[in-house]
Amino acid sequence: MGDPQRFWDRYAKGYAKRPIADEAAYQTKLKLTQEHLKPDMEVLEFGCGTGTITLHHAPFVKHIRAIDISKNMIEISKTKARDANVTNVAFEQLKIDDLKENDSTYDVVMGHSILHLLDDKEKAINKVHRLLKPGGLFISTTTCLGGKLWALRAILPIGHFFGLLPMVKFFTKEELETALKDNGFQIDHIWQSGKPKGIFIIARKTQ
């Protein structure tokens, strides 16, 4: 079975060089996020990859703790932060499951292009809820591949088994919304870019 950490370590350099697929959509999501950020905020980002989004948002908040499963991704992130002279971010190799933090620690948690790569998205959403302060925001982008797509459903597990592709979970936009609501969030904003299946959500902790 493919090892997720090994896969992303191997892919890190290529991932860092890959151009943004939809620059307009990317800029829209940055803008929508920054409209909710404030200078006194403590932020967590899990699945931070090579830190591009982290570094875009760092000037707008007090501090960002950014974690990722991949050691190589984190090393690239640290280099980018040093080169940009960004000092209010801390990059760390860590799974969200292994994150040891007190409840109600963060004003904002970000998880971009990550929920569909986890074994249990509900478990992660529940942990995000606990980590957020009352009224805190969970800002995410998720690829929702639920539906038929039978060929893709067949190919991805084989590729993952041989370490050629990441593990990808199949669920619909509606199932994602239900998971958020069932774990104590209300959805303040939802937006889908021109790229099919990519869902950007700003959800607020209400319970």
Report how many helices (DSSP H) and strands (DSSP E) the chain contains, helices first. 7, 7
The four Cα atoms 134, 137, 138, 140 give a dihedral, to 10 degrees, of 170
Categorize the per-residue pLDDT at 150 as very low, low, confident or very high, splitting at 50, 70 and 90.
Answer: very low
117 within 8 A of 167, measured Cβ to Cβ: yes
Q: What is the mean pLDDT of the chain?
A: 88
Give the model's pLDDT for residue 1: 47
106-112 sheet: strands from edge to edge: 89-93, 63-68, 42-46, 106-112, 132-143, 198-205, 185-192
Q: How confident is the model at residue 30 (pLDDT cuts 50, 70, 90)?
A: very high
Q: How many CA atoms lie within 13 A of 112 on its CB side?
A: 17
The first and second tokens of residue 109, run together, are 């948690």
Q: Give the residues across from 202 on adjacent strands.
A: 139, 189
Percentage of the chain lying above the pLDDT 70 cut: 86
pLDDT in tens, 177-199: 999 999 999 999 999 875 556 89
Instruction: Judge whether residue 5 has pLDDT over 90.
Output: no
User: How much of the chain exceeds pLDDT 90, in percent?
Assistant: 66
Task: Find the helix or strand (DSSP H, E) in which 83 lies.
Answer: helix 71-83
Query: Which of 18-27, 65-74, 197-206 has the highest mean predicted lDDT (pLDDT)?
Result: 65-74
Q: What is the pLDDT of residues 72-127, one digit of tens each?
A: 999 999 999 999 999 999 999 999 999 988 899 999 999 999 999 898 999 999 99
Domains of the chain with CATH codes: 4-205 (3.40.50.150)
